[in-house]
Amino acid sequence: MSFEVQHLSPPGMRRNPAFTNVVTVSGPHKRVIIGALDPVDENGALVGAGDLAAQTEQIFMNLEIALAAAGARLEDVVIWRIWVVAGQALEPAAGVFMRVWNRRPDPPANSIVYVPALAYPGSLVALEAEAIVAA
């Protein structure tokens, strides 16, 4: 089975190397939904207390584990939703993303929302993702 993923940054919209404005998927596929990931290790312990970059690193490690369990890779993510505790500068997290994403083309669409707090005590960031793979 084949499917097509299109990453669109149409004229008239801002272009940014960190995200794609519109992602479409057509044809037979499997949708992988990953609920909000916390910056915790496999034992549930917070990683990087007070350190947004360290927490973002842990979230990306958790994301890659979750994707692999579903037969997906980072490149298959079409959108992620990111929650950041208000008052945190995005630069440390963005730096981690740019290093992890590296030279892969077509970053996913994204939403970034500042919130007063997150559910897991001490979390500064959480990430939810959706990926599309062949069924």
Q: Using the predicted structure, report yes or no on whether residue 1 has a pLDDT greater than 70.
A: no
> What CATH number has the domain bearing residue 90?
3.30.1330.40
* C-alpha pair distances (Å), 39 with each of 5, 105, 125, 129: 29, 26, 7, 14
How many domains are there within the chain? 1
- Range(s) of the domain holding residue 115: 4-133
The stretch 81-100 carries a mean pLDDT of 95
Task: Could you list the beta-strand ranges (E) of 41-108.
Answer: 77-85
The stretch 107-125 carries a mean pLDDT of 96
Q: Using the predicted structure, report yes or no on whether residue 8 has a pLDDT greater than 90.
A: no
In the chain, the percentage of residues whose pLDDT exceeds 70 is: 99
127 neighbors 94 (Cβ within 8 angstroms): no
Query: Which structure tokens are listed for 105?
Result: 């083309």
d(CA 84, CA 97): 14
Q: What's the mean pLDDT when you consider all of the chain?
A: 92
Token pair 């290790």: residue: 41
The stretch 67-81 carries a mean pLDDT of 94
pTM beyond cutoff 0.75: yes
